[in-house]
Amino acid sequence: QVQLVESGGGLVQAGDSLRLSCAASGRTGSSYAMGWFRQAPGKEREFVAAINYSGGSTNYADSVKGRFTISRDNAKNTVYLQMNSLKPEDTAVYYCAASRSYYGRRSFLYDYWGQGTQVTVSS
């Protein structure tokens, strides 16, 4: 089992930046790819970004490409999502997820999920 805890969400203005963190505990000795997803009120959960275990390969949703950066520190069992130039449409609950190897867009292929952290961007 792997437990994931997100932090770093909050209320910001359009154009501001935030950095989300996802701390993993439990069976973190195994290699996990990690992803970030988000869900806005009344909408389906959508893919944001993902990274493989080594950190050498990443994927991004088109809507965040160039503004968000995913990274990881395996020594700290933590994954980050640096979010710059935030827009009101980025408002959502952000979730991190872990997968044995998959680091794509399909949420059902992730094995573990955190509880989420709220990000609200005001205009």
pLDDT tens digits for range 62-81: 999 999 999 999 999 999 99
Provide the percentage of residues in the chain whose pLDDT is more than 70.
98
Give the pLDDT confidence score for residue 101 in this predicted structure.
84
Is the pLDDT score of 57 beyond 90?
Answer: yes
Number of other CB atoms surrounding residue 61 within 10 Å: 16
Look at the block and give the residue holding tokens 């449409």: 89
Cα separations in angstroms, 91 against 40, 51, 55? 6, 22, 26
Distance CA 36, CA 101 (A): 15
Q: Among 104, 51, 113, 43, which Cα is nearest to 82's?
A: 51
- What's the mean pLDDT in 92-119? 94
**Average of per-residue pLDDT values in the chain:** 94
DSSP 105: S
